[in-house]
Amino acid sequence: MLKNNLLTILILCLFLFSLKSLAVGHPEYINWRAHPREFVISLSEAIFGTISEDNTFIDNAASRINTDPNSRLELFWLFLDAPKYRYSEWAKQDKEYQVYYKYVTSDNIEKYSYYVSKQQTGADMSIQGMYTFGVAMALRDFYATFVPRSTEYGEMRNFVPRYLRSSSISNPISTNSVPSGKCPLFKKDGGSLKLDANNDQNNQTQIICKYYPIGLLEYEISELKISGTKHGLYLNYSTVSTENTHYLLEYGYYIKGKRDGVFKHYFEPNELGEVQLAVIYKYNNGVKLLDEFFYLEPSQQLRARIKYINGKLGGEQTSFYRNGQMKERSTYYPDGSGASHEEWYEDGRKK
């Protein structure tokens, strides 16, 4: 019953939010591997055509994500069930596409190759269901992301991602200077550790090291010894499920339980082992001031900037094309209501 109520509340949130803009379809915007919060934002942009989500909505949706990739797929279907999408022109398109897959061999490894088509090619197999083109493309990307190899996963409908199981750990990679952590990157059998900050018994803070069941460091957080309140450096790590890579996903600082200053999120490493900046969040005493989202390619190219007043959407919101040209600019009153909106084509001409 509780789960159904939560589902109803989330769908209602999606309906209320649907009043803000016209629905569009951009399945290529979905970042299936992103941190839960960034994943929700990419879903919104792909399905609803906007990234101007409020924090409560994002957090509620992101809380549904766990280590099972199916949790992301379930949220994807929930978004598609929102009135904003169901009554859009995109949802009214003919459902005449299927997602097909075939076996290919690359570097002596048998893999799945996915594609979208109206008709089956040869003896290739299909993932059951008929979809609009946009939905089919999104599903193709989901399966290509989480089920790339035929020999490393279970059934297509009930798989669990294969996380790194080797004790050989790659150091977190980053193209930016980041603070050094104190927790060991690996602890056999997982669990947690508690360290005294700076090895000083009189220090008021301690460091908590939390590990994945497979032994890799999940996060490191400094906290006050007496209250357990977060206070100091926070480092959040992740793994690439199909590669021997353990990397820094997010870092920032807490002051007496509240985020303060800059928090940075990173994309997962590319083929060269490079980690690129994905999002910057700025806070003051727990109150959000700014979000900045970046493209994966070209790296460091700003995709959108969202400003907040007293933790709520306010001031100016801008988005940019990959070439740096401004795409949209909206201004908001302090209460969060819209004041103005402008749009441009990629060549700079105003719409």
What is the reported pLDDT for 244? 53
pTM > 0.85: yes or no = no
Residue 271 contacts residue 257 (beta carbons within 8 Å): no
What is the reported pLDDT for 172? 45
Tokens 């790194």 found at = 164
318 has pLDDT over 70: yes
Kindly indicate the confidence band of residue 260, based on its pLDDT and cuts at 50, 70 and 90.
very high
Averaged pLDDT, 318-345? 85
| Closest listed residue to residue 106, CA positions, set 137, 150, 74, 171 | 150
81 has pLDDT over 50: yes
297 has pLDDT over 90: no
Kindly indicate the confidence band of residue 92, based on its pLDDT and cuts at 50, 70 and 90.
confident
Which has the higher per-residue pLDDT, 89 or 243?
Answer: 89
What is the reported pLDDT for 59? 80
Write down the mean pLDDT value for the chain: 75
135 has pLDDT over 80: yes
| Closest listed residue to residue 16, CA positions, set 57, 65, 62, 64 | 57
39 has pLDDT over 70: yes
Kindly indicate the confidence band of residue 208, based on its pLDDT and cuts at 50, 70 and 90.
very high
56 has pLDDT over 70: yes
Question: Tokens representing 154?
Answer: 């279970």
Helices (H), 53-132: 55-62, 70-80, 83-86
Kindly indicate the confidence band of residue 199, based on its pLDDT and cuts at 50, 70 and 90.
low
Kindly indicate the confidence band of residue 58, based on its pLDDT and cuts at 50, 70 and 90.
confident
Question: Tokens representing 251?
Answer: 């870092």
Tell me the CA distances in angstroms from 338 to 14, 99, 200, one per residue in order: 18, 40, 52
Which has the higher per-residue pLDDT, 276 or 349?
Answer: 349
* Calpha distance 268→280 (Å, rounded): 15
Please write the tens of the pLDDT for every residue from 149-180.
543 333 333 332 222 223 333 444 444 567 77
What is the reported pLDDT for 25? 64
* Calpha distance 197→181 (Å, rounded): 11
What is the reported pLDDT for 231? 92
144 has pLDDT over 70: yes
* Calpha distance 224→59 (Å, rounded): 25
What is the reported pLDDT for 326? 92
* Calpha distance 185→167 (Å, rounded): 10
Averaged pLDDT, 42-56? 75
The region of weakest confidence among 48-62, 87-101, 161-175, 249-263 is: 161-175
CA atoms in the 13 A half-sphere facing the CB of 174: 20
Percentage of the chain beyond pLDDT 90 is: 14
Which has the higher per-residue pLDDT, 198 or 283?
Answer: 283
Cα of 159 vs its chain's centroid, Å = 20
Kindly indicate the confidence band of residue 201, based on its pLDDT and cuts at 50, 70 and 90.
low
